[in-house]
Copies of this chain bind each other. A is one copy, B any other.
Amino acid sequence: MPTNKIWYLRKRPIGDVSAGDLELVTEAMAPVADGMVRVRTIYLSLDPTNRIWMSDMDAYLPPVELNAPMRGGSIGVVEESGTDAVPVGSLVNTGLATWALYNDLPADAVNVLPSLPGVPLTAFMGPLGATGMTAYFGLLDIGAPKPGETLVVSAAAGAVGSMVGQIGKIKGCRVVGIAGSDAKCRWLTDVAGFDAAINYKTEDVGAALEQHCPDGIDINFENVGGPIMEAVIARLNDFSRMPLCGLISTYNADPEANTGPKNFDNLLMRRTKLQGFIVIDYLDRFGEGAAAMATWLMEGKIRYETDIVEGLEHAPDAMARLFTGANLGKLVLKVSDAPA
């Protein structure tokens, strides 16, 4: 029998995730049941939304229960199979599984990854994964970009933001990104093709937006919340759109201390359309989104970075990188090796 390693949620974090909130447990595994597949995790996806799942807030999914395995998405290889539909050796996306070395999942819950020439496995965690789909549907469905419009994206060097900006460029927008280091800003302008990037840690975001958005802001793809969001809202144009994708600046904060944007009234004055969305709402259109993103990727129009941390035991520490601004691109945890 193989043994499994599973991260259990033991306490609901207050503020930052800390030692003792989760526990890594080694367990024996039962045989694989009929109709199930045993997936060995290669890459575990680490995302800001993981922090939401650890809280008992009324979110878009129920919170992870205390003393249950932590929820997460991953890519892995099928090591044992209880069905002919998904043979051993298949590379699959698990959808929502757990933070574990192995996940036993119903065969119809996993998606076998297509083989695309020149596209590495990490792309299925980024542009072709949930974060890529988040960018694709949030920007195109809600943001409705038109050529010549100005798009601002916060957390721009993150997994979602970096895709949003590049899709915006493909659609003919002026694209301005907000990120947390000069290195990230250079990547945005020099590699990802953004028109401008603002380092919110060293620049006055409002003044920089004035400079880089001379015609105002038509689309605010919002990932962050807080004062950065207020600076963007203050410069929205009439009939602007605001896909509300995330509020990462608030996830670790005291819920009682949260406030909405002080200039909320500008959403009225500017007749802004703000729409919250969660990528799982678009599950039935992932095929469309992945096909478009794969085409752009193979045409060289989409660049992406993967920030890889190795070792299942580092999952909580690695997740902290999302909130300190340490990571560039998609943060993944490499749990085990891909097949040769």
Contacts and interface: CB of A to CB of B under 8 A. Distances in A.
Interface of A: 57-60, 225, 238, 244-247, 250, 258-278, 281
A246 B258 contact: no
Given A260-B259, A260-B260, A271 B277 contact: yes
A246 B276 CA distance: 20
A140 B138 CA distance: 24
A271 B261 contact: no
A250 B276 contact: no
Contacts of A266: 58
Contacts of A245: 268
A200 to B, nearest CB: 19
A264 B269 contact: no
Given A60-B271, A269-B276, A271-B278, 17 more contacts: A57-B269, A58-B269, A59-B269, A60-B269, A244-B267, A247-B268, A258-B262, A258-B263, A259-B264, A268-B278, A271-B275, A271-B277, A272-B275, A273-B273, A273-B275, A273-B276, A274-B274
A245 B265 CA distance: 10
Contacts of A260: 259-264
A215 to B, nearest CB: 16
**DSSP majority for the A interface?**
loop
Given A258-B265, A262-B260, A274 B271 contact: no
A56 to B, nearest CB: 13
A137 to B, nearest CB: 12
A230 to B, nearest CB: 9
A338 to B, nearest CB: 34
The 9 tightest CB contacts between A and B, nearest first, are: A260-B260, A260-B264, A268-B276, A260-B261, A259-B259, A274-B274, A273-B275, A271-B276, A267-B276
Nearest to A278: B271
A26 to B, nearest CB: 35
Contact of A265 (B238, B250, B269, B271): B250
A95 B273 CA distance: 26
A224 to B, nearest CB: 12
Contact of A264 (B58, B258, B281): B258
B259 A267 contact: no
Nearest to A238: B60
A281 B238 CA distance: 10
A128 B246 CA distance: 41
A245 B259 CA distance: 21
A264 B267 contact: no
A113 B147 CA distance: 42
A277 B58 CA distance: 29
Nearest to A60: B269
Contacts of A269: 57-60, 276
Contact of A268 (B244, B262, B263): B244
